[in-house]
Amino acid sequence: MPNFPMKITEIESIPLRVPYEERIRKRYYHFAMTELVTVYKFYTDTGLIGLGENPGPPFDQEVLDAYLGTNPFDHVMGDGRFNLDMACYDLMGKHLGLPAWKLMGQQVRQWVAMGWWMPCMSPEDTAAEVQVAAERGYRGLKCKARAFYDVVEQSHAIQEVASPDFRVEFDFNGSLINVEKALPILRELEKIPVVKGLEEPIFAYDVEGWRRLHQEIRIPFYLHGVGVIREGASRQPSGPWIGLRVGDFDGALCSHESVKSALASGWAFAAANTPILLQYVGTGITAAFACHLGAVIPTATIPGVTASHAYESDLLVTPHKVQRGFMQVPDGPGLGVALDEDAVKRYSQTPEPTWARHISVVTLPGGIKHYYRNLQQAERLMKQGVDESYAPGVRLDEWEDDGSEAFDQLFKQLQERDWPVWETSV
């Protein structure tokens, strides 16, 4: 490594609470999406400062210690946390007066496909969110699909409001469970043009079930993970590498991969002519990093996900430009973005919100109600077959504490055991 005269002398961790937009804030809380964000400033002996970030609280000091005293160029193609390595790329680019992508590879695009992200919602709220996304220049959506909402009904609601060039990818996280459950639902989704991708429709370890579904369904299948050089277990036994070679999927997510893994996988997927969806969640800082990766990864063509749009501030002086579903790659040195110090000061003092106690109510066909402790319990147990999943017209609503004795008794009952309460037993 050349002896570039630069060392990281100090790392400042700045914990913030950045609220989600008011329209979705409570919904994100129910979905257990943290508002905590940590911004990192990497100080150097040259006076340059590099930016990094992660959703959540600060990393432990021992994680940061691995960078102290090192040269940012020591972390080229690094396999550390991308949240911190991005600060090194910011420093390297600033030192050379070049955009970060110049240190990653040859540029293949100046605008990167970026999509909207949302958790599962009712059909009417899903349609409303799609309209917001379109108004802000997005043409792609990654949406969580969960057993307590009718995904076919959701898709029809999207189709009714979406423009002809809009697309949605549903992320099931395996919640369709098996071929028997998945096949009739996916066949209905095939009839809805706006549905363009399915991420892990069934449990990824069911390789033969996955292959059977893949042969039966025309909608592209996406694997969560592109780590062709990763050691250890994969979320699918065939793994990204073998699965890529035998054609088990039509695209895959580069989700929070290290710089090393992302770039190596990018070339492997390019050789296989298979598209990649970049998923790096954070504010505008992380969105900038994702754009630099997308600038050099040849097949990063599925609309990526950062969810930076969900925050009421992206923490940047100049927001990212989005046009018809593409985000412009910053062309300044390093990450090419400037931190909004006024926003940092403001969100360092944001109080933690107080939310009312709530019960998650799953309403099934016929109006039958099943009560869950919260959305997370409903998601976990329904995936295990404790309750009927993806029933026609099923929906989940939150019952907030209304001060009634009925609410209080049911709330306490649900805390005592890890089971739902069915309406007939209330």
Predicted local distance difference test score (pLDDT) of residue 241: 61
Q: Are residues 151 and 66 in the same domain?
A: no
Report the mean per-residue pLDDT for the chain: 94
Burial 244-264 (b: 16+ CB within 10 A, else e): beeebbbbbbbbbbbbbbbbb
Q: Are residues 142 and 49 in the same domain?
A: no
Burial 48-61 (b: 16+ CB within 10 A, else e): bbbbbbbbeebbee
Predicted local distance difference test score (pLDDT) of residue 331: 96
Alpha-carbon distance of 335 to 88, in angstroms, equals: 10
Q: Are residues 138 and 26 in the same domain?
A: no
Q: Are residues 135 and 280 in the same domain?
A: yes
221-224 and 421-422 beta bridge pairing = unpaired
Domain of residue 12, CATH code: 3.30.390.10
What are the DSSP E strand ranges found in 149-250? 167-171, 195-199, 221-224
What is the pLDDT confidence band of residue 275, given thresholds at 50, 70 and 90? Answer: very high
Q: What would the mean pLDDT of 212-219 be, rounded to a whole number?
A: 95
Angle (CA) 172-176-177 rounded to 5° is 120
Measure CA 19 to chain center. 17
Among 37-46, 221-230, 381-390, 417-426, top mean pLDDT goes to 37-46
Backbone angles phi, psi at 220, to 5 degrees: -60, 140
Q: Are residues 134 and 207 in the same domain?
A: yes
DSSP-assigned states of every residue in 379-422: HHHHHTTSS--S-TT-EEEEEE--S-HHHHHHHHHHHHSSS-EE
Alpha-carbon distance of 393 to 115, in angstroms, equals: 27
Whether 338 maps to a domain, the answer reads no
395-400 and 36-44 beta bridge pairing = unpaired
Q: Are residues 62 and 132 in the same domain?
A: no
Whether 401 maps to a domain, the answer reads yes
Alpha-carbon distance of 67 to 70, in angstroms, equals: 6
Q: Are residues 68 and 186 in the same domain?
A: no
pLDDT at 236 over 60: no
Pick the last residue of a domain from 68, 103, 138.
103
| Cα dist from 121 to 116, 231, 393, whole Å | 14, 36, 13
pLDDT at 240 over 80: no
What is the pLDDT confidence band of residue 244, given thresholds at 50, 70 and 90? Answer: confident
What is the pLDDT confidence band of residue 425, given thresholds at 50, 70 and 90? Answer: very low
- Say which DSSP state 157 is in: H
Predicted local distance difference test score (pLDDT) of residue 225: 79
Q: What would the mean pLDDT of 387-394 be, rounded to a whole number?
A: 95
H-type alpha helices, 136-174: 151-161
Q: What would the mean pLDDT of 8-32 be, rounded to a whole number?
A: 97
Alpha-carbon distance of 121 to 132, in angstroms, equals: 14
Alpha-carbon distance of 386 to 201, in angstroms, equals: 19
Which residues have C-beta within 8 Å of that of residue 303, sequence separation ≥ 6?
113, 114, 115, 138, 139, 140, 141, 142, 167, 169, 277, 325
Q: Which amino acid is at 174?
A: G
- Say which DSSP state 387 is in: S
pLDDT at 199 over 80: yes
Kind plus residue range of the DSSP H or E element containing 321: none
Q: What is the pTM of this model?
A: 0.93
List the one residue out of 298, 248, 302 whose CA is nearest residue 117: 302
Q: Are residues 139 and 283 in the same domain?
A: yes
| Cα dist from 25 to 71, 152, 155, 347, 353, whole Å | 40, 25, 23, 15, 10
What is the pLDDT confidence band of residue 84, given thresholds at 50, 70 and 90? Answer: very high
Alpha-carbon distance of 393 to 186, in angstroms, equals: 16
Number of helical (H) and strand (E) elements in the chain, helices listed first: 13, 18
Q: Which amino acid is at 302?
A: I
Whether 342 maps to a domain, the answer reads no
Q: Are residues 166 and 99 in the same domain?
A: no
Whether 30 maps to a domain, the answer reads yes
Q: What would the mean pLDDT of 27-50 be, rounded to a whole number?
A: 97
Pick the last residue of a domain from 84, 103, 122.
103
Whether 340 maps to a domain, the answer reads no
Backbone angles phi, psi at 85, to 5 degrees: -60, -30
Predicted local distance difference test score (pLDDT) of residue 38: 99
Predicted local distance difference test score (pLDDT) of residue 373: 97
Predicted local distance difference test score (pLDDT) of residue 426: 46
Q: What would the mean pLDDT of 169-194 be, rounded to a whole number?
A: 96
Whether 341 maps to a domain, the answer reads no
Q: Which amino acid is at 407?
A: F
Q: Are residues 165 and 261 in the same domain?
A: yes
Range of the domain at 54: 8-103
Whether 410 maps to a domain, the answer reads yes
Q: Are residues 133 and 36 in the same domain?
A: no
pLDDT at 254 over 90: yes
Pick the last residue of a domain from 62, 86, 103.
103
Backbone angles phi, psi at 213, to 5 degrees: -60, -45
- Count structural domains, the chain: 3
Q: Are residues 74 and 129 in the same domain?
A: no
What is the pLDDT confidence band of residue 239, given thresholds at 50, 70 and 90? Answer: low
List the one residue out of 123, 160, 161, 121 whose CA is nearest residue 144: 121
Whether 337 maps to a domain, the answer reads no
Q: What would the mean pLDDT of 119-143 be, rounded to a whole number?
A: 97
> Taking a C-beta distance cutoff of 8 angstroms, is the pair 307, 255 a contact?
no
- The 10s digit of each residue's pLDDT in 330-380 is 999 999 999 999 999 999 999 999 999 999 999 999 999 999 999 999 999
